[in-house]
Structure 1
Amino acid sequence: MLVIGQNEVPELLSMKSCIDVMESVLADLSSGQAVQSLRQVLPLQEGNLLGLMPGYLPREAVAGAKIISIFPHNHHAGLPSHQGAVALFDSVTGVLKALVDGQKITAIRTAAVSAAATRVLAREDASTLAILGTGEQAKSHLEAMLLVRPFGRVKVWGPTTAKTQQFQAEMSRKFDMEIVVAESAQHAVRDADVICTVTASGEPVLRREWVKEGVHINAVGACRAGDRELDSALVKQSRLYVDRLESAHHESGDYLIPLREGAIGPDHIVGEIGECFSGKIKGRGTLAEITLFKALGLAIEDLAAAQFIYNEAVRLHKGMEIAF
């Protein structure tokens, strides 16, 4: 068995490669060429969670699962909110091929999926990006977004001023560009062409009256039925795509809460983003419409990323081989 640690994952899985991998595997999922079970979640103390995410990629002849802890308030202790590992099995022999760090996979593949969605849903002339949130996903989303649109302006807002300023300084140096710290979420998004919400909030941080026509939104942070980042009016006015219908129907507060309120109907979801990638359904229809991609994170994304990493590790002689 090959063990691939946290420091090696970014070396083996570039954001650019991951965007293409995610587009391919999500198209496979929507066409029935990949299989997964709904995420199993075990509640822990103080709102923390332990998740099990199994899946199967017949085309790659691999199966496996990610087991991950989700501790939303870990940033207070200087720890990541998502930590775990992906176990990768050969689906022909049942052999455990690899154990891959799940924290970095989650950071990279989540942003890569948002970038793939942005590539097909955002306006071609999108030039201003707003990011709500300042954690690991904010950093990875900035990297991913810069690969799919030539953003000249980036604005960021976070609930903690010091962390927002730290994000601004670090990312400005890394990408050699000016990043503006906004005084509020409203000021961050008011002229944005693309918005990424990557917060730990369970209440709306983004409202319809703040955003302009033609914006594209990647809503990433809320992953439980009772949590949301967007208000109902914004969801109602948006052309909504999801990563997986089954997951949205069970886990997405951004969809379920407006549905319970009667703001939207059960047919409000246009479809899965994988169907958009394969051309089965269309993306943006007009320059003025608001497009919304709601991501919850899927097992097949983790498996596809882990399989890519494994192949690269074998090719480049990376990782640690252990008897198991």
Structure 2
Amino acid sequence: MKPITLKVITLEDVETIFKNRTDMIFDIVIDAFKKYINGDVLLPDKISQIFDNSTQNRINCMPATLFSEAVSGLKWVSVFPTNAAVGEPNVTGVMLLSEIKTGFPIALIDGTLCTKIRTAAVGCVAAKYLAPSKVKKVGFIGAGEEARMHCVLLKHLFPTINTCRVASRKHSTEIDFVNELSRCMKDVSFIDCEGDYSKAVEDTDIIVTAISAQAPLLKANAINKGCLYIHVGGWEDEYAVAQKASKIVCDDWEASKHRTQTISRMYKEGLLTDDDIYANLNEIIQGSKLGRENDEEIIYFNSVGLSFIDINFANEIYKQAQEMHLGRMVTLAGLNDTDYSIFL
């Protein structure tokens, strides 16, 4: 029997791989979409086990296969919005990667940091095509880890950003957001808005909601012309926001329409149809649909999270770990046949 081994790659290993290589993060997202466009992706439905409909505490199983890379994998990710109230991370996860010649597992990879990176990177790739021509002011509803990752990656993508406003349910979280990010973004003026969500987003070029609130916190009258809205979570904006948008773009509308996000709710209630969705992001990347056409458009970008992007990240992390001698090898099954006598 051939030994079955896999490489365990920790969060710290993932940090080492991406340190000072931020552009690689965006490249992985774009490469994943190109694989999808070329038919190199097998994308089963995401399985979401929701334990509480009111809080949306859930665990998602997100599988995908990349035929061109000869790998298959899944991300097992928990999303527990109630954790924030007790100071615990609300998103944790692991990724399992297998090769598809024998089906053997090859890597077990931290999925917590990678989820934050992937989610923010998809929003930023969308922003490359959908943001206004001059991005100087950004506004955040939510001040947790996902909001912070979006802020850092947006600043990398748009060095012209000079103002960042943030509002959260707890003022202390806003202060933590400001204190942490102002240390590494010294040319940005940070404004904590003391829970005033409208103040956080007024007169901004890009809005990000990342709060897991399950409530319509973002109001349409607070959004100015030319704004890009990056919708990250579930139900965070009133229906009028989508109705005000010039274009609604999704990472994937079919994957979104039966979920619990704002536009998914609108679809189920008959307030939004397939025809109201302008494009999926891959259509804009490949050029079959235009992105932003002028600085008057209000563009709504909806991100649900696509497993083939996660698996593309997992595969690239695995390859980089091999090259950089990171991670730890573990033997799951050795050379010996099973000793059945132990069960007697």
Q: Residue 229 in 1 paired to residue 229 in 2?
A: no
Q: How far is 1:122 from its partner?
A: 0.3
Cα deviation code 1:248-281 (max 9, x no counterpart) = 1111431122234444333111121111111121
State the partner residue of 1:12: 17
Q: Residue 299 in 1 paired to residue 307 in 2?
A: yes
State the partner residue of 2:193: 182
State the partner residue of 2:253: 245
Change in 2 beyond 3 A, CA 1:251/1:90: same
Q: What is the RMSD computed on CA atoms of the aligned residues?
A: 1.5
CA distance in 1, matches of 2:35, 2:299: 23
State the partner residue of 2:179: 169
Change in 2 beyond 3 A, CA 1:15/1:198: farther
For this pair of structures, how many residues does the alignment match?
A: 319
Alignment-mate amino acid for residue 225 of structure 2: E
Q: Is the 1:243–1:273 contact (alpha carbons within 8 Å) kept by the matching residues of 2?
A: yes
Structure showing greater radius of gyration is 2
Please say which of residues 45-54 and 258-267 is displaced more in the overlay.
258-267
Q: Is the 2:95–2:111 contact (alpha carbons within 8 Å) kept by the matching residues of 1?
A: yes
Give TM-score, length-normalised by structure 2: 0.89
State the partner residue of 1:49: 58
Structure 1 residues 298-317: aligned runs within 5 Å: 298-317=306-325
Q: How far is 1:30 from its partner?
A: 4.1
Cα deviation code 1:77-106 (max 9, x no counterpart) = 222111111000112231211000110110
CA distance in 1, matches of 2:136, 2:303: 22
Q: Residue 142 in 1 paired to residue 142 in 2?
A: no
Q: Is the 1:31–1:275 contact (alpha carbons within 8 Å) kept by the matching residues of 2?
A: no
Q: How far is 1:32 from its partner?
A: 2.7
State the partner residue of 2:339: none
Q: How far is 1:156 from its partner?
A: 0.9
Cα deviation code 1:133-156 (max 9, x no counterpart) = 111101100111112222111111
Cα deviation code 1:142-179 (max 9, x no counterpart) = 11111222211111111100111111111101222321
State the partner residue of 1:109: 118
Q: Is the 1:132–1:156 contact (alpha carbons within 8 Å) kept by the matching residues of 2?
A: yes
CA distance in 2, matches of 1:161, 1:296: 28
CA distance in 2, matches of 1:246, 1:270: 13
Which of 275, 290, 301 is the matching residue for 2:298?
290
Q: Is the 1:240–1:268 contact (alpha carbons within 8 Å) kept by the matching residues of 2?
A: yes
SS of 1:196's partner is strand
Q: Is the 2:257–2:267 contact (alpha carbons within 8 Å) kept by the matching residues of 1?
A: no
State the partner residue of 1:267: 275
Which of 86, 91, 95 is the matching residue for 2:95?
86
Alignment-mate amino acid for residue 37 of structure 1: P
Q: How far is 1:57 from its partner?
A: 0.8
State the partner residue of 1:225: none
CA distance in 2, matches of 1:47, 1:156: 24
Structure 1 residues 147-226: aligned runs within 5 Å: 147-149=156-158, 150-176=160-186, 177-183=188-194, 184-222=196-234
CA distance in 2, matches of 1:263, 1:208: 16
- What runs of 5+ residues in structure 2 fail to find an aligned partner? 1-5, 333-344
Q: How far is 1:218 from its partner?
A: 0.6
CA distance in 2, matches of 1:89, 1:81: 27
SS of 1:7's partner is helix
Q: Is the 1:30–1:272 contact (alpha carbons within 8 Å) kept by the matching residues of 2?
A: no
Identity of aligned residues (%): 27
Q: Is the 2:214–2:236 contact (alpha carbons within 8 Å) kept by the matching residues of 1?
A: yes
SS of 2:208's partner is strand
Q: Residue 318 in 1 paired to residue 326 in 2?
A: yes
- What runs of 5+ residues in structure 1 fail to find an aligned partner? 223-227
CA distance in 2, matches of 1:207, 1:262: 21
SS of 1:322's partner is strand
